[in-house]
């Protein structure tokens, strides 16, 4: 019984890991390819019984052609991209204090963990500053000045002093 549960859990974790790897490869090598990114080739891996002819042999041919300096017979995977996007556009992220060049890189930066963390941190600091200003009590000098002038009908909590 426990063995069956363990095998099912292992299968589930393996599938999750494979999906995570595929997503990483897609994001790193296909969505934002740079000049130093190698071409990525897709191989049919769904039928395990044909693994040697559908995975091993084509992979070895691709590697061998790179070693020999030839262009492989297989074609690399290409992701569709918008031809209107500007690869030289200049973006300044005030939140992160970074300069980002390229529309695709800017879109990736806006979604990145580091940017979202900096944005959250900035918002938290701003809200703390606003709360601190709102919760400050009336200063003693201002309080004395208002009492001397006399403001009938207002209690101390309603008095606002601009200093």
Q: What is the pLDDT of residues 1-49, one digit of tens each?
A: 778 899 999 999 999 999 999 888 887 788 766 677 788 888 888 888 9
Question: What is the C-alpha to C-alpha distance for residues 42 and 47, in angstroms, rounded to an integer?
Answer: 14
pTM of the model: 0.43
Question: What is the C-alpha to C-alpha distance for residues 30 and 79, in angstroms, rounded to an integer?
Answer: 6
Question: What is the C-alpha to C-alpha distance for residues 32 and 11, in angstroms, rounded to an integer?
Answer: 31
Tens of pLDDT, residue by residue over 82-106, are 666 667 788 999 989 999 888 878 8
Question: What is the C-alpha to C-alpha distance for residues 115 and 95, in angstroms, rounded to an integer?
Answer: 7
What is the distance in angstroms between the CA of the first residue and the CA of the last residue of the chain? 74
Question: What is the C-alpha to C-alpha distance for residues 7 and 144, in angstroms, rounded to an integer?
Answer: 77
For residues 74-86, average pLDDT? 72
Please calculate the CA angle 147-153-159 and round it to the nearest 5 degrees: 55
Secondary structure of the chain: what % helix, strand, coil (to 5)? Answer: 55, 5, 40
Beta bridge partners of 101: 90
Q: Is the pLDDT of residue 163 over 50?
A: no
């Amino acid at each position: 019984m426990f063995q069956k549960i363990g095998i099912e859990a292992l299968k589930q974790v393996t599938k999750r890991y494979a999906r995570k790897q595929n997503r990483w490869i897609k994001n790193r090598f296909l969505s934002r390819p740079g000049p130093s990114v190698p071409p990525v080739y897709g191989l049919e891996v769904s039928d395990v019984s044909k693994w040697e002819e559908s995975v091993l042999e084509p992979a070895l041919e691709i590697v061998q052609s790179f070693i020999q300096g030839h262009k492989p017979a297989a074609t690399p995977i290409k992701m569709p991209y918008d031809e209107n996007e500007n690869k030289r556009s200049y973006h300044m992220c005030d939140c992160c204090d970074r300069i980002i060049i390229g529309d695709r890189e800017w879109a990736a930066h806006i979604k990145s963990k580091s940017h979202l963390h900096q944005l959250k941190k900035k918002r938290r600091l701003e809200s703390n500053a606003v709360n601190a200003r709102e919760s400050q009590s009336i200063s003693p000098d201002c309080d004395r000045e208002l009492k001397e002038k006399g403001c009938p009908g207002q209690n101390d909590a309603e008095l606002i002093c601009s200093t």
